[in-house]
């Protein structure tokens, strides 16, 4: 697992190895010393990038969440689709990304679920970023006449959309994501809220 | 806490005392023997009503959940209100009941949250009952022309309504129910899904 020490030690390289340590050894691991050992470097080298265990854990959790928000940001940022279709694709991509994380690498998912509980400001920022993306799509839909303007404006509507779909993105529901019928239930909720946005 | 042993030992009396034992001593307690001791009767007397610890715990959990579904059933069962107003009242009453349970008696709420995880069939039946009540309101709304008929019919629509509002009734979110702004967020979601039901 340890690379040649001649490789330049970047923050990104440290976070890659931190995720590998977490995947193999679970959430109790991933201290600065564990990660330095896996990298084959002194812990002083890691401390130059991450001054505490908390900072390292926050950064690796943020990186894991950012993978999802970057994918979604591309959907929110394009005007190739109508706003209703963009919303549908955005929620579909969010559900797919979460199911993928939960289903394909359950140990790492369980580990991150533990870390999420300890890094609540990182989670809050992630939710704000996602709701911000939704706000952009809703705002475009209101301007283009696809969506009704509603009380509280685009931001409050975006938050309501995010809340109304949480069974399909909150990790607390991960066990339900492989149940038969979950796709139909997802579609029913998305259909319902999209109808709710009609002018 | 123990009543005179001359009092007739009914299942309801046993469940009342079981809840009291849970409130005082937490989820690890509430075995048949604990409850018999609190009642001042032999455990054989309790076993005549509840043959196992699991049966006793299921029954006390069901009784706790039934208190909510009975209140909601009265709203679903009346035709005094229009279907949209009935839905709004029903969700308001559900959120109020859950917040009341979580906020006014947090130890008992935490205890029941543990029991819920162990009595999944009781929880499933409770959810089916609530979704059934919603189905009645939605069906009436479709018949009276207040709501659009949708793919999958009233039952699928009811499930989508229940899923879309879960931040305001799933105990997993109880910590968020005292946050500032939660009432406005609840109203925004209910408004959104009610608009989604318009013909």
Contacts with B150 from chain A: Cβ below 8 Å: 191-192
Higher pLDDT, B115 or B190: B190
Contact (CB<8Å) B156/A189: no
A62: nearest Cα among A141, A98, A115: A115
Q: Are A170 and B170 in contact (CB under 8 A)?
A: no
Q: Which domains does chain A have, with CATH numbers?
A: 11-47 (1.10.10), 60-196 (1.10.357.10)
Task: Please check whether residue B52 is in contact with residue B15, taking contact to mean a CB–CB distance below 8 angstroms.
Answer: no
Residues A52-69 have a mean pLDDT of 93
Contacts of B196 in chain A (CB under 8 A): 191-196
Segment B116-141, tens digit of pLDDT: 888 889 999 999 999 999 999 999 99
The answer, for B157 touching chain A at a CB cutoff of 8 Å, is yes
Say what angle helices B53-77 and B32-39 make with each other, to 10 degrees. 80
pLDDT tens by residue, B52-105: 999 999 999 999 999 999 999 999 999 999 999 999 999 999 999 999 999 988
Q: How far is CA A120 from CA A117, A136, B116, in A?
A: 6, 24, 26
Q: Which of B152, B163, B191 sits opposite A167 (nearest CB)?
A: B163
A91 falls in which pLDDT band (50, 70, 90)? very high
Q: Out of A159, A185, A189, whose CB is closest to B188?
A: A159
ipTM for the assembly: 0.88
- B197 chain-A contacts, CB cut-off 8 A: 192, 195
Residue A195 and residue B191: Cβ atoms within 8 Å?
no
pLDDT of A2 higher than 60: no
Task: Please give the pLDDT value at position B26.
Answer: 87
Integer Rg of chain B from CA: 20
């Amino acid at each position: 697992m340890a690379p040649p020490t001649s490789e330049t030690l970047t923050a990104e390289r440290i976070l890659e190895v931190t995720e590998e340590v977490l995947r193999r050894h679970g959430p109790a691991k991933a201290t600065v010393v564990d990660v330095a050992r896996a990298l084959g470097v002194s812990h002083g080298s890691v401390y130059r990038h991450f001054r505490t265990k908390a900072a390292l854990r926050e950064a690796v959790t943020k990186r894991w969440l950012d993978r999802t928000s970057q994918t979604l940001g591309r959907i929110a940022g394009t005007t190739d689709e109508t706003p209703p279709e963009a919303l549908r694709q955005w929620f579909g991509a969010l559900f797919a990304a979460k199911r993928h994380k939960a289903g394909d690498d359950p140990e790492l998912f369980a580990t991150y679920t533990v870390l999420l509980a300890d890094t609540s400001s990182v989670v809050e920022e992630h939710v704000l970023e996602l709701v911000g993306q939704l706000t952009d799509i809703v705002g475009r839909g209101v301007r283009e006449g696809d969506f009704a303007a509603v009380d509280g404006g685009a931001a409050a509507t975006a938050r309501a959309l995010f809340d109304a779909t949480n069974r399909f993105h909150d990790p607390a529901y991960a066990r339900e994501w492989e149940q038969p019928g979950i796709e139909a239930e997802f579609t029913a909720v998305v259909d319902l809220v999209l109808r709710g946005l009609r002018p």
